[in-house]
Each structure stands twice: as C-alpha cells, then as structure tokens.
Structure 1
Amino acid sequence: MILWDEDELLPGVEWKQEINKRLKTADIIVLLISPNFISFAYEEMQAALRRHEAKEVQVIPVILRPTDWKETPLGNLQALPTNGKSVVEWRDRDQAFQDVVKGIIRVVTSLYEAKMTPPIRFPRPMVNPNPLSPSEVENALQRLVGWKVLPFFVPGAEPKSGIEMVKTYQFANYDVALGFINKASEYIAVLSHHPTWEITWGTVRARLTTWDIGHQLSHYDFDLAKYLDNLSSEYPPLKQKK
C-alpha cells in the first residue's frame, strides 16, 4: 500500500495536475471534511465521487470539524468517525481517531481480499446438447473416478426410465458437506444444469442426468462431474477410524 497526500508535492510541481492524477489512480480516497474543505476543495470532491459512483475507487469521508456535509453529495456515504460525529466533538479525540483508523482498516482489508480472490471462471453453457452414445459415455467415464452409470425410473413418470451418473462423496461433517453443495451451486447456476442431491450428515450423493434429452447423458453431465470432483478435493474428507 502506498499512502499519498498533498504534503508530498515537490517544489515546482503543478499541484492541481498532480492531485488530479492521484485522484484518478487511487484505490481509496480519504476526504478530511471541514468547512474549509467544503468551500475550497469541492471540485476535487466531485472528481472523487464520480470515480466512486463508477465503482473505481472507495471514498471515505472523515469528518474533522462540524459542517453541513450531509447536505453535499457526500451525504450518501458512510462517514467516519462512527455516526458521522466530527472528531472535535468527541470528548476523547484519541478515541475518535482510533475509530477512524479501524474503519479505514476494514475498507483496506475488504479491498485487499477482493483483489486477492481470483475470479471464478465458468464454462459457456451448451445449447441443445445431444445425447452421448454408449461408446462416448464409456470413454468419458474412464476419465472420472468413482462415478457409476445406472438406469433409474423417472420420478412421477414411472415406468418411464432414464440413465444417470451417480457418485457418493464423504466429508468431515454436515457443515462441510453443505458448504460443498453451496459452493457448487455457483457453477451450477451458470451452467444451468442441476444435479439431484442427497445429503446425510457428511455424505453427499450426486445424481446427474440431462432431462431435456429424455433423461440421457450429455456433455453437461460429464463437465459437471469433473467440476464436482475437483471441488470436493478442497473440502476436509471424513477421517477414517483406525
């Protein structure tokens, strides 16, 4: 993290140009609000707020002295110290600044975690999938571990039957198993292909079939099976008793 304020301006530098440059490249802008700021830095405030509205920067107003800041465009922002009470109005100003620091740290931590978390890459949903032939199913199944292809009766349409892929995952406990399902739902929502789940404590049974093609198997099912296998490795397994 690099901190900067106008006190770091070098002699001979065009101060307005340099401030605008910093406003355009900052991740967090802390505005120290006082009557003088409202009167003389309104243009810089507007520039910061435009980037804030575009979700390019996080603007944090810090209220130093009493002023009608809520009547300005800043009024829509959560200010520091807590409840927007100016620093000079606190009985203990050290406590006020400590409150400000804690608030800024929360914002910095949130932005850092967001940047460190890689974006989830989802596959493009397939359109009008074709059923796989028996040989294609057999070849695809060889690239997976623990999955079985079984016939089943279509719920509510017996004796109509179909084919499904089935696998049972074992996790440390119910919370871990549920976390696995919840995380998988992000991928499933984008793929728009939904498994049938059966969960008992730390055991999750996943059943896959493509209803749109008469309860046969498609590439959807094998793509999702591969994803579930990769995802399951990120969760604590059930410890085997010695």
Structure 2
Amino acid sequence: MLLRRLGELSGGGAGLVETAPVAGETAWPDRLREALAAADVLLALIDPDWLRQVGDSASASGDGRDWLRQEVEYALAAGKAVLPVTVQGARMPPPGALPAALAPLARLEAVELRGVADLKKVAARLAGGASPARPANPVSLYPRPNRVVPAESDAAQIEAALADSLRHWEVRGRRFDAVAAGTAPDDQEQIGLYREFGFRTFQDAVAFMHAAAPGCDVANHHPDWGNVWKTVRVFLTTWDIGHRISERDIELAEYLERAYRDFPGRHPRG
C-alpha cells in the first residue's frame, strides 16, 4: 500500500521495489542485491522495534534476521541515497546504538510519517534523490506523536458538540505559513476548532492562558493560541492525524470552556 501511494504521488512509481523476504528464503538473495544495485534511493522504514531487530541481526548469520542490516549496509557502502522514515512514534537512533557499519544512518535527516499527508514529504525527498544530514539541533513545532493515534472525528460528532457544549466554537480551515526558523512549513490545509475568548484587560487574557495551561499538559494535548490585547484566539487541531479534528480537540475545547466560565476576569459578553 505504501509503495502504491508513493508511486501515485511521484508520478507512476517506476523503480519502486520492496525488498521483503519471500517465504522459504534464508540467505540474502541475489535478486535483492541486484535490485539495490539498480536503485537510486533506499527507503528505510524505522519503527519502535527497528533498533532491537538490527541489534539482534548483528550476530545473525543467514537466518533471515540480518536482512534489515544487510540492505542498509549495502546501500550506505555503495554510496546510495538513503532516506530514513520513522513510523509509530519511533526516534532516529544515535550513532552509538548502531553497528559500526550503520552509524552513518544516524546522521541522515529522517521524515516522520504520521499520516497520509506526510507521504507528500516522502515522495518529494525520493524525487530529490538526496540524503541530507540532520541539523545539529533540529527544531520541531510539535511534540513526539502519541503511541496511540486518535481517530478523526466525523461530521456528526463535531456538529453535535458545536450544537451543545461548544456552541461558541466553529470549524475553521487555515494554511499554516508562519513557522519557526529552521523548520519546513506544512503545505496542507489544517482543519480545527476555533474560538475567541474576551477578557476585561490585557493582563486577564494572559492570566487565563497561564491558568489553563496546566490542564492542557494533563490532557497531553495543546492549543495553538495567542492573545491580541484583551482577546485570546484558540485553534485546536490534532497534528498527528494530518491536522484534523479529533475527540482530543473536542475534549480540550470543553475544558477551556469550563475554565473560561469560572475565570473571574472574563468579559461579560464572552
């Protein structure tokens, strides 16, 4: 499925070959060596168990467990472009945790695959055919993804919440153009819940954000918010499902509503 989708995004998928074992094969077969020799780029999928598998394979000899190690070793030694892709919340391993022949992999910039939208980044990197080094201090706008990714809320769930506890909220789309230095902007549209909270003074607006922040940490879900004078603008979206609305956004919006209702400095008109 991954190869098919990447093929669609990259214009046909010519040259995309999966190097998975075939039932009954043990030694690393010539067909894979030939496929890697003809390839321009190796896509290395790294899940949370990848490092353990590679570590186990370092002492394996022809029993099938060393395929992961051999294909990456071969590509690095042959000077092929290698693109690490982390999935399911995995982190890039440090050089010291890898066998010596795989240590160069840790210096490459990975793409974090959280959903379908991130496939565009993978396809773009494959089209470029490059293995850029990772920045010394990479900047990320977002925390590490949750191991359990929430499902996107459907239209009925969202409409029910907006008609009841979130009647002061609305669904809003935006394109996220303002990014921190050193980060690459997402080119996708983001869909989220939006609300403006009014306060009596500027200091009340700032105090509300300070008072509500600990609850966001407890929920392990955080708003994109800011204040303009006496107004706090809040945009809630779940980034690890491609910036769409999930139950976490609805629950956090309900929490902010309760916090605002009990806040002494709120504006009477909301």
- Say whether the fold is shared (TM-score over 0.5): no
Richer in helix (by share): 1
TM-score calculated relative to the size of structure 2: 0.40
